[in-house]
């Protein structure tokens, strides 16, 4: 039984990782014909070309810019929304949570199409505007907001509500007592929400596709390439991105493990 | 309570970017291009019933396969030692950090007639198999992209399950199969249901996977919507009508699914 489950997990991970392995291996393929399944030797030429390709670098810059701005916007708006929702009575809170959940259960393509209608309409009404970075930032902020709220709310619920009142009783004005008392308590949730928003924004294709106008982001550029043939440059780029994510995850996990160990040590010290 | 006011900017944001766009979809679905009321668009959707049937069928098959693959994975992970659990879950999440279009593209290189799997089959003397541009390829693409969404909620329910309940059933003389069908499965139902909805909704409404792996022959609802807004047959009124029908369809499916949930135990969600 034990050995059987190990074989099963091995097969599932083979299924999950085979395509990624193929992508990575072919980013080093030494070929001119852009062949996607014939191996003809090791080379770094696609990595060299990648850093000379203006289109890809522009798309990368747009993607990162949109992700940073919409992650910050949705974190600020979402955290403040979570505080508001947390202070509400049952009925309005249920209403707010239903509106919050809606974009998460609604098919992405319908959300994308509906926002496209809004932006086309709005652009026409305001005159002379067209879809692009602005509309994409608004759209990304909108679909990231629920994730921020859902990661901040549990932290707020765990927090002792009297802490905020105590700070004010001791003479701290409301705004500083929020930043000094409430924010540090809910910070892990806020950070998680922001990271989620950032990664969701970077990876999003469907909603960007409908709200981008002529602006290119990385996923949109990749999509336009898959309709012809994907240049191994894209393989090279995704290998680099994947490597970056891998390192980021390792750092985060190691930090968490270290924090846990320190916490445990501190607790033992206090007990002993 | 002053805290409630913190949710006001978010409320305004969601009205503008979620509720108004949905009303626009509704408006476009029931009007002609000149803006007069009509039911013609909704009636036209009926003409595409074969596309709807195909989408639902492929989505359902992909969901069933994901459940069959994902349940044992979640079960095995939930039964391993605690320190290994987070590593295994991380390994399940990791492929999702590669862009979704690229992962699907990688499957193109694997499944092609002159692709890697066919080269391998030929080297083994088994002969080539036509796989790309079939419904099977579309299902593989869906399962590959969405199976983690099945594994997370199942894992979080199974990991929380009290092992002494299973031991009690065994002590009372139940066979392994009986323990699974009568104890483990019923207790993991909330996870099964949220897994099914998390896979089914994106699978039914996808338009990339069918385009890339299904060729032109396996059109899905998403492709139909895409064509009306950004594709060859520009008609946002018909596109809105199709989106509306898709939305209603999914709401009905989720309503049916929720009937199976007793509503008491809220399991699932992404562990982060």
Q: Give residue-wise pLDDT tens across range B155-168.
A: 999 998 888 888 89
What pLDDT, on a 0 to 100 scale, did the predictor assign at position B219? Answer: 87
Cα gap A175→A168, rounded to integer Å: 10
Contact B236/A at CB under 8 A: yes
| Cβ-Cβ contacts under 8 Å, B95 against chain A | 16-17, 19-20
What pLDDT, on a 0 to 100 scale, did the predictor assign at position B34? Answer: 86
Residue in A97, A71, A74, A110 with CA at minimum distance from that of residue A201? A71
What average pLDDT does this structure show over B72-84?
90
Compute the mean pLDDT over every residue in chain B, rounded to the nearest whole number: 87
| Cβ-Cβ contacts under 8 Å, B97 against chain A | 199, 203, 241-242, 245, 249
pLDDT in tens, chain A (272 residues): 589 999 999 999 999 999 999 888 888 888 765 556 677 788 888 898 888 889 888 999 999 999 999 999 999 999 999 999 998 988 999 989 988 988 888 899 999 999 999 999 888 888 777 888 999 999 999 999 999 999 999 889 888 878 888 888 898 888 888 888 889 989 988 988 898 898 889 889 999 999 998 899 989 988 888 777 777 888 888 888 888 878 877 777 777 777 777 777 877 777 65
Residue in B103, B115, B98 with CA at minimum distance from that of residue B142? B103
| Cβ-Cβ contacts under 8 Å, A78 against chain B | 10
What is the pLDDT confidence band of residue B229, given thresholds at 50, 70 and 90?
Answer: very high
**Are B101 and A22 an interchain contact pair (Cβ–Cβ within 8 Å)?**
no
Question: For residues A26 and A230, is the Cβ–Cβ distance under 8 A?
Answer: no
Contact A251/B at CB under 8 A: no
**Which of B1, B2, B16, B21 best probes binding to A when mutated, by most A CB atoms within 10 angstroms?**
B21
What pLDDT, on a 0 to 100 scale, did the predictor assign at position A1? Answer: 55
Residue in B80, B108, A230, B63 with CA at minimum distance from that of residue B118? B108
Structure confidence by residue, pLDDT tens digits, B170-215? 899 888 889 989 989 999 998 999 899 899 999 999 988 998 898 8
Residue B268's CB: how many other CB atoms inside 10 A? 21
Contact A84/B at CB under 8 A: yes
The answer, yes or no, to whether residue B2 has pLDDT greater than 90, is no
Give the CATH number of domain B49-228; options: 1.10.3720.10, 2.60.40.2240, 1.20.1560.10, 3.40.50.12160: 1.10.3720.10
What pLDDT, on a 0 to 100 scale, did the predictor assign at position A82? Answer: 94
Question: For residues B41 and B34, is the Cβ–Cβ distance under 8 A?
Answer: no
What pLDDT, on a 0 to 100 scale, did the predictor assign at position B267? Answer: 42
- Tokens matching residue B113: 């007639």
Contact B217/A at CB under 8 A: no
Contact A96/B at CB under 8 A: yes
**Are B119 and A37 an interchain contact pair (Cβ–Cβ within 8 Å)?**
yes
| Cβ-Cβ contacts under 8 Å, A13 against chain B | 91
Report the complex ipTM: 0.85
Q: Which residue of A has its CA nearest to B6?
A: A84
Q: Which residue of A has its CA nearest to B272?
A: A192
The CA-based dihedral angle spanning residues B7, B10, B12, B13, taken in that order and rounded to the nearest 10 degrees: 180
Structure confidence by residue, pLDDT tens digits, B118-134? 888 888 888 788 888 88
Cα gap A232→A23, rounded to integer Å: 9
Question: For residues A151 and B272, is the Cβ–Cβ distance under 8 A?
Answer: yes
What pLDDT, on a 0 to 100 scale, did the predictor assign at position B269? Answer: 41
**Which of B94, B105, B150 best probes binding to A when mutated, by most A CB atoms within 10 angstroms?**
B105
Which of the given ranges, A181-185, B26-30, B98-102, B233-237, has the highest pLDDT on average?
A: B26-30
**Are A37 and B112 an interchain contact pair (Cβ–Cβ within 8 Å)?**
yes
What pLDDT, on a 0 to 100 scale, did the predictor assign at position B246? Answer: 94
Per CATH, the homologous superfamily of domain A54-235 is MetI-like (1.10.3720.10)
Cβ contacts of A37 within 8 Å, gap of 6 or more:
B109, B112, B114, B115, B116, B119
Q: What is the pTM of this model?
A: 0.85
**CA angle in degrees (0–180, nearest 5) for B87-A144-B195:** 50
Q: Which residue of B has its CA nearest to A189?
A: B272
What average pLDDT does this structure show over B3-13?
89
What is the pLDDT confidence band of residue B262, given thresholds at 50, 70 and 90?
Answer: low
What average pLDDT does this structure show over B70-79?
94
What pLDDT, on a 0 to 100 scale, did the predictor assign at position A45? Answer: 86
Contact B88/A at CB under 8 A: yes
| Cβ-Cβ contacts under 8 Å, B21 against chain A | 111, 114-115, 117-118
**Are B3 and A83 an interchain contact pair (Cβ–Cβ within 8 Å)?**
yes
In chain A, where the domains are located = 54-235
Q: Which helix (H) or strand (E) holds A154?
A: helix A133-158
Residue in B228, B227, B245 with CA at minimum distance from that of residue B26? B245
């Amino acid at each position: 039984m034990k050995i059987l489950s190990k074989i099963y997990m091995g097969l599932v991970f083979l299924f999950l990782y085979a395509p990624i392995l193929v992508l990575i291996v072919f980013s080093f393929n030494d070929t001119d014909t852009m062949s996607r399944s014939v191996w003809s030797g090791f080379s770094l030429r696609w990595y060299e070309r990648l850093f000379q390709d203006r289109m890809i670098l522009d798309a990368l810059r747009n993607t990162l810019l949109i992700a940073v701005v919409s992650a910050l916007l949705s974190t600020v708006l979402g955290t403040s929304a979570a505080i508001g929702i947390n202070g509400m009575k049952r009925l309005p809170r249920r209403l707010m949570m239903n509106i919050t959940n809606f974009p998460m259960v609604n098919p992405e393509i319908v959300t994308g199409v509906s926002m496209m209608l809004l932006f086309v309409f709005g652009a026409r009404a305001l005159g002379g505007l067209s879809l692009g970075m602005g509309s994409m930032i608004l759209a990304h902020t909108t679909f990231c907001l629920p994730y921020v709220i859902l990661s901040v709310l549990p932290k707020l619920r765990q927090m002792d509500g009297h802490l905020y009142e105590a700070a004010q009783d001791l003479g701290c004005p409301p705004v500083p007592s929020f930043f000094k008392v409430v924010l540090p308590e809910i910070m892990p949730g806020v950070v998680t929400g922001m990271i989620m928003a950032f990664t969701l924004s970077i990876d999003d294709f469907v909603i960007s596709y409908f709200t981008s106008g002529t602006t290119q982001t990385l996923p949109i550029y990749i999509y336009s390439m898959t309709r012809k043939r994907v240049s191994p440059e894209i393989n090279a780029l995704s290998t680099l991105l994947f490597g970056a994510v891998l390192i980021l995850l390792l750092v985060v996990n190691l930090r968490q493990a270290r924090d846990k160990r320190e916490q445990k040590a501190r607790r033992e010290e206090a007990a002993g | 309570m002053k805290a409630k006011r913190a949710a006001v900017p978010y409320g305004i944001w969601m009205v503008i970017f979620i509720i108004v766009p949905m009303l626009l979809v509704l408006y476009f679905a029931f009007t002609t291009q000149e803006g007069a009321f009509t039911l013609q668009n909704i009636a036209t959707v009926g003409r595409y019933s074969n596309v709807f049937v195909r989408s639902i069928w492929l989505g359902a098959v992909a969901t069933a396969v994901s459940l069959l693959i994902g349940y044992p994975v979640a079960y095995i992970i939930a039964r391993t030692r605690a320190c290994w659990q987070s590593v295994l879950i991380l390994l399940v999440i990791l492929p999702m950090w590669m862009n979704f279009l690229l992962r699907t593209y990688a499957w193109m290189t694997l499944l092609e007639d002159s692709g890697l799997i066919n080269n391998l089959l030929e080297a083994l003397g088994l002969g080539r198999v036509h796989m790309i541009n079939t419904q099977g390829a579309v299902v593989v693409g869906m399962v590959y992209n969405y199976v983690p969404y099945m594994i997370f909620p199942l894992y979080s329910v199974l990991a929380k399950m009290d092992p002494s309940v299973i031991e009690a059933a065994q002590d009372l003389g139940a066979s392994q199969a009986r323990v699974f069908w009568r104890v483990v499965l019923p207790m993991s139902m909330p996870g099964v249901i949220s897994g099914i909805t998390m896979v089914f909704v994106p699978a039914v409404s996808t338009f990339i996977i069918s385009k890339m792996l299904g060729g032109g022959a396996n059109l899905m609802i998403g492709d139909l919507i895409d064509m009306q807004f950004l594709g060859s047959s520009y008609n946002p009124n018909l596109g809105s009508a199709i989106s509306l029908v898709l939305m209603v369809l999914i709401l009905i499916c989720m309503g049916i699914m929720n009937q199976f949930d007793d509503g008491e135990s809220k399991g699932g969600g992404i562990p982060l």
